[in-house]
Amino acid sequence: MVRCFLIHTVCPVSALSAGESRLLFSRVFGPDEGVLTEQHRGLGPEERRLLRREKTAVVARQVRSAVSLSREASGRPPVEAVPGEEALALQEAGSGAVRLRAGDPFPEEMSALWLAVQSLGFTLVCEPHENLPLAEGTLRNLTRHCLEHLHMLGPGSEVLLRSDRVDALLSRLLPHGQLLFLNHRFAQSLEKEVAAYMAK
Amino acid sequence: MYSHGSESLIKQARDIQEAELKKFYRRLAKLLQGKELGHEAMDSLQRLHLILSATKFTRTLPAELQKGLLPLLSSPVEQLQLLSSAVLRETLPLSGEELNYTQEDVLQLNSHTAALLLSQAGSRADLSSLCAQLLRSLESRQSDGPTHSLMQTLPILNTIITHSPECLTEDHLTLLSKKIVDWLRYASITQGGGASSGGFFTGPRSRQPVPTAELDGTVSGDFFTVLCVGQGFTDDQWMNVYSFSMLRHWLLTYHSVPSGSTIADAASPANRPQLSFSLSHSHSFSNDDRSEVDGSVVSMVSATSSSSRLLPPKERLREKAFQYCLRLIEQSDRKALKRTDTELQKACLVEAVCILDCVCVEDTSLVYRTFPCVKALFGRLSSDLTFARVLLPIAQFYLNHGEMAAVDCESVWKLVFGRFPAELFNSPFLAHELLRFLRLNLESLQLRVPEYTRSFPNLLKFLAWDSPAVVDDFVDLLPSLVTAETAVELLHTMLDLPCLSATLLLQLRSTCSPISEPGGRGLLSLDAFRSASLRGLFLYLLRTEAGSGDTIDRLSTLHELLAEAADWPRVVQCAQTVPVLLHIFFSAVVMIADEKLSAHLILVMLERSSLLLNIPTYIKEIHRVFSCHLLRLCKLRPSLVVDQSHELLEFAGTTANVYSKDEIYTHVVWALGEYLSVSSDSRCSVRLITSCFEALEAVLFEITSSAPPPGAACPVPRVITTLMSALAKLASRSHDLIPRVSLFLSKLRTVTRGGSVAWCTDEEDLVAIVMRGEELWSLLKTPGVAQSVLTPPPHVTTPQWHRDTNLSMPLQLRTLTSLTHTQ
pLDDT tens digits, residue range A86-137?
A: 889 999 899 999 999 999 899 999 999 999 999 999 999 999 889 999 999 9
- B339 close contact with A: CB closer than 8 A: no
State which residue of chain B sits closest to A67, comparing Cα positions: B469
CB contact under 8 A, A31 and B428: no
- Portion 704-743 of B in contact with A at CB < 8 A: none
A-proximal residues of B, 150-169, CB under 8 Å? 151-152, 154-156, 158-160, 162-164
Task: Give B-chain residues touching A13 at CB under 8 angstroms.
Answer: 2, 7
- The b/e string for B765-793 (b: 16+ C-beta within 10 A; e otherwise) is bbebbbebbeebbebbeeeeebbeebbee
Is A46's CB within 8 Å of B58's CB?
yes
Q: Check residue B137 and give its pLDDT.
A: 81
Q: What per-residue confidence (pLDDT) applies to B270? A: 39
Indicate the residue of B46, B242, B252 with minimum beta-carbon distance to A129: B252
pLDDT given for residue B604 in this prediction = 96
The whole-angstrom distance between A46's CA and the closest CA on chain B is: 6
Give chain A positions within 8 Å (CB) of B347.
Answer: 131, 133-134, 137, 181
The whole-number pLDDT of residue B267 equals 38
Cα separation, B791 vs B788, in Å, equals 5
Contacts with B774 (C-beta within 8 Å, 6 or more apart), sequence order = B745, B749
Kindly state whether B14 is in contact with chain A, defined as any CB-CB distance less than 8 angstroms: no
CA distance A145 to chain B (A): 15
Q: Taking residues A41-57, what's their average pLDDT?
A: 87
Q: Do B151 and A98 touch (CB under 8 A)?
A: no
Sort out which chain A residues have CB atoms less than 8 A from B83's CB and list them. Answer: 164
For residue B39, give the chain A residue with the closest CA.
A200
User: CA of B15 to nearest chain A CA: how many angstroms apart?
Assistant: 14
Q: What pLDDT, in 10s, does the model give residues B195-228?
A: 544 455 545 555 678 889 999 989 998 999 999 9
Task: State how far the Cα of B300 lies from the Cα of B222, in Å rounded to an integer.
Answer: 7
Gap between the Cα atoms of A140 and A101, Å rounded? 24
Q: Which pLDDT belongs to residue B777?
A: 92
Number of H helices, E strands in chain B: 45, 2
User: Can you give the residue ranges of every domain in chain A?
Assistant: 2-198
| Facing residue for A131 by CB, picked from B50, B56, B351 | B351
pLDDT reported for residue B276: 32
Q: Which of B268, B290, B291, B266 is nearest to B281 (CA)?
A: B268
Secondary structure (3-state) at A112: strand
Contacts of B473 in chain A (CB under 8 A): 99
How far off is chain B from A68, nearest CA to CA, in Å? 10
Q: Environment class of residue B382 by beta-carbon count within 10 Å: exposed (0-12), middle (13-18) or buried (19+)?
A: middle
In this structure, the strands spanning A94-100 and A110-117 are antiparallel
Q: Are A29 and A177 in contact (CB under 8 A)?
A: yes
Q: How many CB atoms lie within 10 A of CB B533?
A: 7
The reply to whether B338 touches chain A by the CB within 8 Å rule is yes
Question: Which chain A residues contact residue B341 at CB under 8 A?
Answer: 183-184
Contact A178 B159 (CB under 8 A): yes
Question: d(Cα A145, Cα A174) in Å, to the nearest integer?
Answer: 13
Give the amino acid at B24: F
Measured between CB atoms, does B466 come within 8 Å of chain A? Answer: yes
Q: Is B152's CB within 8 Å of A32's CB?
A: no
In sequence order, what are the residues at sequence separation of 6 or more whose Cβ sits closer than 8 angstroms to the Cβ of residue A108? A102, A127, A128
Asked if residue B239 lies in contact with residue B150, where contact means CB atoms within 8 angstroms, the answer is yes
- Does B215 contact A183 at a Cβ distance shorter than 8 Å? yes
Span A63-78, pLDDT tens digits: 999 999 999 999 887 7
Return the CATH number of A2-198, one of 3.30.450.60, 3.40.50.740, 1.10.645.10, 3.30.450.40. 3.30.450.60
Question: Which residues numbered 188-217 in B keep a CB inside 8 Å of some CB on A?
Answer: 215
Give A149 to chain B, closest Cα distance, Å: 14
For chains A and B, count residue pairs whose Cβ atoms are closer than 8 Å: 250
- Could you say which of B50, B92, B162 has the minimum Cβ distance to residue A160? B50
Q: Give how far B92 is from chain A: nearest CA, Å.
A: 7
What DSSP character marks residue A24?
E
Distance CA(B467)–CA(B473), nearest Å, equals 10
Indicate the angle between helix axes B124-139 and B111-120, nearest 10 degrees.
150
Q: Which residues of chain B have pLDDT under 50?
A: 101-104, 196-198, 202, 259-300, 302-304, 518-520
User: Which of helix, strand or coil describes residue B680?
Assistant: coil
Chain B residues closer than 8 Å to A132 by CB? 350, 389, 429, 432-433
Test A152 with B246 for CB contact under 8 angstroms.
no
Task: Supply the pLDDT for residue B207.
Answer: 60
User: What is the reported pLDDT for A146?
Assistant: 95
Q: Which residue of B has its CA nearest to A89?
A: B1
Establish if B230 touches chain A: CB-CB under 8 angstroms: yes
| B766/B645 Cα distance (integer angstroms) | 31
Q: What is the pLDDT, as a whole number, of residue B256?
A: 75
